[in-house]
Structure 1
Amino acid sequence: MKIHNKLFLILFSFTFSVIAGLVVLIQWSIGQGVIDFVNAKEVKALEPLVVQFAKQYEQTPSWERVVGNGESFRKRVESQLENSQFLPRPQEGPGPRGRMMRRPPPDHIRLEEDRRPPPENIAHYALLDENKQRVVGKYLNDLKYITTPIIVNDKIVGYLAVSKRDSLVDGYELDFLQQQTNYLWFIALAAVLLTLMVTFLLSRHLVSPVKQIANGMHRLTQGNYETKLTLERKDELGQLSEDFNTLAFTLAKDEQVRKRWLANISHELRTPMSILLGELEAMLLGIREPNAKNISSANDEALHLKRLIDDLHMLNSAELGGMHYTMQPTDMALLLNTIEQKYQVVLEQHNIKIYLLNSAKHITVQADKTRLLQLLDNILMNAVHYAQCTTISLTAKNISIKGQTYLELIIEDNGVGVEQSHLSHLFEYLYRVDSSRNRQEGGSGLGLSICQHIVKGHKGEIAAEKASLGGLAIIIRLPTI
């Protein structure tokens, strides 16, 4: 079963059950309320009789003299209820709303009727003494009675008991109850139809974007990464569609990177291998002499291939979490002084001057010293090999970002620099600004990618920007202790 049908059935079934339950509960409540009203109305109709009993008892304090026998008590009750709808016997003649009702039967027939168990809808009347003991009338243990106290001189001398009715069989109240029941079921039917329509529209409103997302996900699984959803919603489904579009864009970008990576790595591996095989084949065929110069040239290609494979292995280890770090407190001032001394001679050989501007004294970073030296070595050697610069500046300072203190290293040169469009791609695998650059000068194209992994391994950040000296600036931020 589709999710649209499931959601529709669940919502409609729940709402229908609630409506049906409320209708039954309201109907029962109205019925009980009308019955209670009828019972209270009957008690109210007998209040004059209670007053009469009180006055007579005050004159003659004996219930036997006041009410006499059961027949006399019954007649007094019927006389009080003569013009009401509460008589326990049928009458003849036009009743309320034109109903035909029978006249009172003769006394001997009426007495025989009193000996038979009365119907449940007929009320029973009794007179009780001050201890609620029966004096006269019908006071049955299996019925509930409403008792009205008879008070004489602020003292209760007895009670007039009227049994509670459990149902209605005639009168305006029954008509009212039936009318209200009809109205209630009509309202319930209208509510069910409205619920049916609202549930259908709501389920479609909720399921329609889910279907679009499901279809889009299916297209993604088939490799169609150009899929894009256009859901103009402000709820969680709208956020999900935005996340879906972000995922599709990321997958499309990663697919492009993967294809470029495969093309570049195949080119990088094929080129030195082809040169190496060509030189070896030439020497085997006697075209070139196997002297030290030719063997050294072949060895250079083998070394270049080895460096490329080593860099690929290192990157793969970093991606899989295999690049291990031995973290320990490292004094960055000492490390930077070591870097300056280490590269002083190498840079002078290339007519490059290095300037260390360290305003961050006594700064300690939790780091792997060997990896940091590898990081700075890759960046400085890139500047030496192809920046065509005469000056390299290494600046260290403290900065604070959102309450966290960082050591910021800025390595910049005054070389040819990099175009703005290339800056965001410098840390991608095998990315070269100049695709025609000599491989011997350009290296494997993986150095900056390795640098990025090292910085991330230290929970830091690395970025490339235009240098204030005119060339390229590499900015590194490492959290301090």
Structure 2
Amino acid sequence: MKIHNKLFLILFSFTFSIIAGLVVLIQYSIGQGVIDFVNAKELKALEPLAAQLAKQYERNASWKKIIGDDQRFLRLVESQLQSSQFLPSLPDMPARQSNRGERRPRPPQHMGQRDHRPPPEYAAHYVLLDKNKQRIFGKLFDDLRYINTPVVLNGETIAYLGVSKRKSLADGYELDFLKQQTNYLWLIALTAGLLTLLLSFLLSRHLVGPVKQIANGMHKLTKGQYSTKLSLERKDELGQLSEDFNTLAFTLAKDEQVRKRWLANISHELRTPMSILLGELEAMLLGIREPNNKNISSANDEALHLKRLIDDLHMLNSAELGGMHYTKQPTDIGLLLNSIEQKYQVLFEQHKINFYLLNSSKHAIVEADKTRILQLLDNILMNAVHYAQCSTISLTARNMEIKNKLYLEMTIEDNGVGVDKTHLSHLFEYLYRVDSARNRQEGGSGLGLSICQHIVKGHQGEIAAEKASLGGLAIIIRLPLVKV
């Protein structure tokens, strides 16, 4: 069964059960309320009889002299209820003498005794009880509940006039009212059921519709259709889920592009030195080129280039798998930068590059792996020396605060050919190089900046590429400082 049908059945069944239960409870409550009202009304009608009995008892302190027997007691009740709606329900009254002079039948032999027969539910029975609630006259059934009105004389209760509680109604306007209310209730229930049917259908479709779209979108993603996009204008969890789905689809599409570019680039990067190496070796084997030191050295350079590429790929793979280990300890980056300046002084002079170190950082202590930081700076500086075609390189270090956290910011700039803005966000991808701005004849694997990014992230820092104020490329590195 589809989720739409399941949800519809659950909502409709649950709501309909509640409505039906409420209707039954309300009907029962109204019925009991009407019956209680009738019982109270009947007891109210007998209050004058209670007052009359109290007056007679004041003159004759004997119920036997006042009433006589059960039959006379029931006649007193009949005469009190003569003009009320309750007279027809008297089940205990013997038949009156007809106009033709017929005599009333004698009362049953059990009259005046406790009766154990189940009485009709709609009938009321009357009894006179003494102050200890023991029967004097009338009928007292074991399976009936009685409501009593006291017979009071001079502020003292001398007896109780009891009426059995009805369990149902046989006639009267109260019964008509009850039937009318029952009809209204079931009409309301039927209307509510139809509304529930409609609302359950609409609500289930409202909830399941987006789920179907998301399910269809996921099915398309499994087939590699990463351009799939959902357009759910909702402000609830399903709307958030659709936004997450679109983000996932965009990420997968981007990763797929990167993967394809990675395969194309890696095949090209491996094929180029391999083709050159095989061409030179084949030329020497065929005797086209002599196997002298110069030709062998050229072939060796290509082999070394291929080895560096494979080593860099291995390092990146280790970093992705968590295999690039760090031995961190508090390191003074200021001293480290001074050593960098001395290390590359000769190299900068050979390439006629002016190097400027501007270190305004004080107490720049970073929890870092010194070897990895040197590797980081080495990759960036060598990248600038060999590929930027620059004459000036500057390295600026300063302390800064971002969101109440202290960082050491290092900016390495050159005045070379620079990189177009469209390429800046891709510079840290594997094997991404801008051909118009980098000299591929010099070698290089195209993985240096990717390795740099892994090193910086391994130190909980950030790295970014921007256009330099000197006109070339600027690499900005931020590393968290240790509070001294």
TM-score, length basis structure 1: 0.93
CA distance in 2: counterparts of 1:221 and 1:439, whole angstroms:
39
2:156 is aligned to 155
2:398 is aligned to 397
Asked if the contact 2:91/2:125 (under 8 Å) is kept, the reply is: no
CA distance in 2: counterparts of 1:89 and 1:126, whole angstroms:
12
CA 1:436–1:278: 2 relative to 1, 3 Å: farther
CA distance in 1: counterparts of 2:62 and 2:361, whole angstroms:
115
How does 1:140-289 map onto structure 2 within 5 Å? 140-289=141-290
1:299 is aligned to 300
Moved more, 37-46 or 143-152: 143-152
Superimposed CA distance per residue, residues 318-350 of structure 1 (whole angstroms, 9 cap, x where no aligned partner): 111111111222121222222222222221221
CA 1:352–1:119: 2 relative to 1, 3 Å: same
Are 1:109 and 2:137 counterparts?
no
Secondary structure of the 1:17 match is helix
2:137 is aligned to 136
**Cα offset for 1:104?**
7.9
Asked if the contact 2:329/2:369 (under 8 Å) is kept, the reply is: yes
Asked if the contact 1:89/1:104 (under 8 Å) is kept, the reply is: no
CA 1:284–1:113: 2 relative to 1, 3 Å: farther
1:57 is aligned to 57
2:66 is aligned to 66
Secondary structure of the 1:126 match is strand
Number of equivalent positions: 471
**Cα offset for 1:193?**
0.7
Q: In structure 1, what residue type is equivalent to 2:476?
A: I
CA distance in 2: counterparts of 1:238 and 1:140, whole angstroms:
69
Asked if the contact 1:385/1:442 (under 8 Å) is kept, the reply is: no
Superimposed CA distance per residue, residues 364-402 of structure 1 (whole angstroms, 9 cap, x where no aligned partner): 111111111110000000111121222221111111111
**Cα offset for 1:107?**
6.2
Moved more, 108-117 or 207-216: 108-117
1:434 is aligned to 435
CA 1:73–1:270: 2 relative to 1, 3 Å: same
Superimposed CA distance per residue, residues 153-197 of structure 1 (whole angstroms, 9 cap, x where no aligned partner): 221111111111111111111111111111111111111111111
**Cα offset for 1:60?**
2.8
Secondary structure of the 1:108 match is coil
Asked if the contact 2:387/2:438 (under 8 Å) is kept, the reply is: no
CA 1:249–1:12: 2 relative to 1, 3 Å: same
Secondary structure of the 2:105 match is helix
Are 1:457 and 2:453 counterparts?
no
CA distance in 2: counterparts of 1:226 and 1:138, whole angstroms:
89
How does 1:2-81 map onto structure 2 within 5 Å? 2-81=2-81
CA distance in 1: counterparts of 2:412 and 2:109, whole angstroms:
117
How does 1:301-450 map onto structure 2 within 5 Å? 301-434=302-435, 437-450=438-451
CA 1:138–1:385: 2 relative to 1, 3 Å: same
**Cα offset for 1:136?**
1.6
Asked if the contact 1:386/1:442 (under 8 Å) is kept, the reply is: no
**Cα offset for 1:436?**
8.6
CA 1:389–1:113: 2 relative to 1, 3 Å: farther
How does 1:464-475 map onto structure 2 within 5 Å? 464-475=465-476
1:98 is aligned to none
TM-score, length basis structure 2: 0.93
Secondary structure of the 1:201 match is helix
**Cα offset for 1:435?**
5.7
How does 1:117-136 map onto structure 2 within 5 Å? 117=117, 118-136=119-137
Superimposed CA distance per residue, residues 85-140 of structure 1 (whole angstroms, 9 cap, x where no aligned partner): 2233379xxxxxxxxxx988776337249858442322111111122122221123
CA distance in 2: counterparts of 1:276 and 1:186, whole angstroms:
93
Asked if the contact 2:277/2:302 (under 8 Å) is kept, the reply is: yes
Superimposed CA distance per residue, residues 266-318 of structure 1 (whole angstroms, 9 cap, x where no aligned partner): 01001100111111111112211111111110000000000000111111111
Moved more, 56-65 or 376-385: 56-65
CA distance in 2: counterparts of 1:82 and 1:169, whole angstroms:
18
CA distance in 1: counterparts of 2:316 and 2:468, whole angstroms:
27
Superimposed CA distance per residue, residues 454-474 of structure 1 (whole angstroms, 9 cap, x where no aligned partner): 111111110011111221111
Q: In structure 2, what residue type is equivalent to 1:109?
A: P
Q: In structure 1, what residue type is equivalent to 2:379?
A: N
CA distance in 2: counterparts of 1:205 and 1:141, whole angstroms:
59
Superimposed CA distance per residue, residues 195-248 of structure 1 (whole angstroms, 9 cap, x where no aligned partner): 111111111111112111111111111111111222222222222222222221
Moved more, 52-61 or 124-133: 52-61
CA distance in 2: counterparts of 1:416 and 1:285, whole angstroms:
42
Asked if the contact 1:416/1:471 (under 8 Å) is kept, the reply is: yes
Q: In structure 2, what residue type is equivalent to 1:477?
A: R
CA 1:103–1:320: 2 relative to 1, 3 Å: farther
**Cα offset for 1:66?**
2.8
Superimposed CA distance per residue, residues 21-77 of structure 1 (whole angstroms, 9 cap, x where no aligned partner): 111111111111111111111101101111112222233333333332212211111
CA distance in 2: counterparts of 1:58 and 1:67, whole angstroms:
13
RMSD between aligned residues = 2.0
Structure 1: tracts of 5 or more residues without a match: 92-101
CA 1:450–1:71: 2 relative to 1, 3 Å: same
CA distance in 1: counterparts of 2:105 and 2:237, whole angstroms:
80
CA distance in 1: counterparts of 2:366 and 2:90, whole angstroms:
105
**Cα offset for 1:437?**
4.8
1:96 is aligned to none
Asked if the contact 1:273/1:301 (under 8 Å) is kept, the reply is: yes
1:94 is aligned to none
Q: In structure 2, what residue type is equivalent to 1:37?
A: F
CA distance in 2: counterparts of 1:119 and 1:388, whole angstroms:
114
CA 1:110–1:354: 2 relative to 1, 3 Å: farther
Moved more, 15-24 or 138-147: 138-147
